[in-house]
Chains A and B, each alone.
Chain A
């Protein structure tokens, strides 16, 4: 770090805290919805890859909507940040892509096998 100090910026402060009822939170409910669909898609792996792939596409959509809503909410002064939200959302969205890829790969293998049977 540089050689400057916090004292350079210190001139005293009085903050007006917003009421908790006015707080705007990240769209956690969307995140959990995405997780739920992801789990369903995961469960579908040994059952139906077509269904699982469809679910993973839906999870991709809800994951994207979650990120979009969070971005809009962040601009609001009443936004109450949750440190874990963005990293978790990122991991979940990567997982969705992985599961979608797994489904499509299994579908592709199955299609290839059908074609050569």
Chain B
């Protein structure tokens, strides 16, 4: 493991990216660790999204093997809280060192339950977050341990986290059991499919997490490490899971980016989740009997350290801490949260206390620290420590100028200069790391005094020369990491305990061949920012070159060697515009790049740039890395689905309401008991004029009580007219003024409700409150007679009246007359008669034409089906009705229907008289 890796692991104290196994005397721990891109990601991006995913199965408190359960003391909660606290502390510090942390909490068991949405985690919010984590102590009642639900939910949760492609992602996943979906002993067929397909197939949930850049930190609590094998391969991909005939040697196809920690007892959880190097106390230097102590020196470069103090359950009577400046306080005696200003003491269990010592402005943590244990078992006390150093480092070339580029043929060496150190510094050397994708080379710079460390130019030249590791690369990343140790503390191997300093990074340091080739000055996206890929869509990269001094240079791009990249995304060059970089001047060249595989987070795109000297035609290929961010495409599908669900809900609710009211309203309202109805014979002339028939005045016949409407009904018959109403019609048309229909066989019926006319002229419309409503009925044959020249025809008005004791009949007759006069019925009659006349004339012409056609060419009849229609014996009255309904259809089919036999004359083109 590289020192830089160690460094960031230490930063992530809480997330258990720690180093070694258990310090507990009786708990077993096993840690399986794959490559860790997370540390590199955090050191570059300074953003982290952490999801705490916690098992909530009942086995935590009760199971067959252990009636008290696997974690009766809820130690997982303490450990997770300690982890969260440490993560929150990453948000402290100087701006350049600060890491933006957002965190979320979810539980799983029977299903996946989010408990805490994504929130910023820092010193201000940690108490709320810890309180939410504390609730996990009560969340332990689920009867299953469904890994598939857990991973599926985690994928969804991370999709809801910051998705800008530059936030690193960490899943802290705790479970005490094996995958169990259905309570069946062993693995059922269903569970086997969930494991092999849902979880572990190529592109399954686990692959989706990896694709989304999620580092999986799995902690399995079980008395058998074999039982947690599935959890292990989910975290690190490779391994051997064997159960009930199902054998998996890997889970998913994407390279595993995770870590698995197994502990056999809950006591080990804290050690598993709090990283650091185990240290043991020495006998007290002053010869005090039954006394052991840690003594260590903290210098001014140390900004923070954590000390997890563990004592045996019995046999230690007193534990006293003496700070660097001489203040003392006791542990395990109900200690205060802040015994002194710089110390935060967190009691995790009765035998474990976590000391977090932080140097803040105006305060010092320098000096000799002492932790002394007194008692017969004092020698069994254990410590677990991690020290974080804080110093500023400047990287310069051999001429003391800030490093920008390195000429491969004229190297001058490298110098690192430290600030904030003095003679007491424990920094002994600087480790330079040259990195091109996954290829890296370390060079140690030794002290040359005055807080400076130097790498000789020969070492650099060897690295970049034709025989060196980076002979044909155009740029490298350089990091410089101080190496320092804590004086006085030794780990279990007897080595000094190291201090983790922040490395200083220089990205894309150009490696030039003197003035022979152009130099890449920047690689940006169209928006002038870092190139960003969403999903697998192509993007245009803008390479800005500084021209070579020697000659104009043609630049060509091609895909680079992807084998050097971790988790290759198969970037390919899609298209490029020819580009010549003029001598001594800047030029921006464009190239379209596309990844074949989705990804998330920062990636290096390997490209090969071929430089062709326009004068000498000499070519040289240089490997370059374009730093890009990748992010997943937003999952549009679920959003659209939810939107459609809501709109469907809207239609359902509104439709149900409308349907309900349509059913309730669509009935003829009950009339007063003495309401009347009767009929009035009328004459109608061709102009639509309606007048009394057989007398000078209108006479009401069959006058009687409206007994048909003494109750609310949906249909009734009156004088041969069928009155009915349809809820469907009300639903479709209007629930404000529902309408009833009146109809009779072979009769045109006109209703008093003129606001809505029926398309079918045999149906009249009336209001459902029949009071003062009327209908006029005229036989179709009578209308036909009128069209054929009869001066007047007979019809009949059927009307409803108010009780005569309420309103005199004469008055009501007068009102009825007014109503008919002001209605559209006379005009409708006139138009119907007009249409009938036109049709009659057309039919006569067609009859004549068909007769001639039959004589001249019989075959033409078969070609024109309308001729047949014209000669058919459809009753004229029916034609009136059907033709009046036709105009709209004819309009639509105007171009197609060219038959002169059915096309009405343009001037008298019939229209539906009730359309208005």
Contact = CB atoms under 8 A, between A and B. Distances in A.
B910 to A, nearest CB: 19
Contacts of A113: 639
Interface in B651-681: 653-654, 657-658, 660-661, 664-665, 669-672, 675
A111 interface: yes
Interface in A92-114: 93, 97, 100-101, 104-105, 107-109, 111-114
A42 B665 CA distance: 28
Contacts of B829: 2
Given A13-B813, A77-B771, A108 B647 contact: yes
B810 A3 contact: no
Interface string B417-432: 0000000000000000
Contacts of A16: 805-808
A4 B827 CA distance: 11
A115 B642 contact: yes
A67 B657 contact: no
Contact of A75 (B736, B737, B771): B771
A64 B654 CA distance: 11
A72 interface: yes
B689 A89 contact: no
Interface string B790-827: 00000000000011011110111110111011000011
A67 B649 CA distance: 24
A2 B658 CA distance: 39
Given A13-B808, A116-B636, A100 B654 contact: yes
Contacts of B649: 104
Contact of A108 (B643, B810, B827): B643
A117 B647 contact: no
B643 A112 contact: yes
Interface string A65-96: 00110011011110100000010011001000
Contact of B646 (A8, A97, A107): A107
Contacts of A64: 657-658, 660-661, 735
Contacts of B645: 111
Interface residues of B, number: 70
Nearest to B803: A77
A111 to B, nearest CB: 4
Contacts of B817: 6, 8-10
A41 interface: no
A105 to B, nearest CB: 8
B669 A4 contact: no
A80 B852 CA distance: 66
Contacts of A74: 669, 767, 769, 771
Q: Is the interface of A mostly helix, strand, loop or mixed?
A: helix
A11 to B, nearest CB: 5
Chain A CB within 10 Å — which of B698, B805, B817 has the most? B817
B312 interface: no
Given A2-B830, A3-B689, A15-B808, A93 B636 contact: no
Interface in B327-348: none
Contacts of A105: 647
A47 interface: no
Contacts of B670: 75
A86 B737 contact: yes
B697 interface: yes
A12 B826 contact: no
A8 B698 contact: yes
Chain A CB within 10 Å — which of B650, B672, B802, B826 has the most? B650
A104 B814 CA distance: 52
A63 to B, nearest CB: 9
A67 B643 contact: no
B810 A104 contact: no
B16 to A, nearest CB: 29
B184 interface: no
B245 interface: no
Given A4-B821, A67-B735, A77-B771, A109 B643 contact: yes
B536 interface: no
A116 B650 contact: no
A66 to B, nearest CB: 9
A39 B670 CA distance: 35
Nearest to A90: B736
Interface string A1-44: 11110101111111110100000000000000000000000000
A51 interface: no
B636 A4 contact: no
Cβ-closest 6 pairs across A and B: A9-B817, A13-B811, A2-B826, A112-B639, A75-B669, A74-B769
Given A71-B768, A115-B639, 20 more contacts: A1-B821, A3-B685, A3-B689, A4-B691, A8-B692, A8-B817, A9-B817, A11-B810, A14-B810, A57-B657, A60-B654, A67-B665, A72-B769, A77-B672, A77-B806, A79-B769, A111-B642, A111-B643, A115-B635, A117-B163
Interface of B: 159-160, 163, 634-636, 638-647, 649-650, 653-654, 657-658, 660-661, 664-665, 669-672, 675, 685, 687-692, 697-698, 734-738, 767-771, 802-803, 805-808, 810-814, 816-818, 820-821, 826-827, 829-830
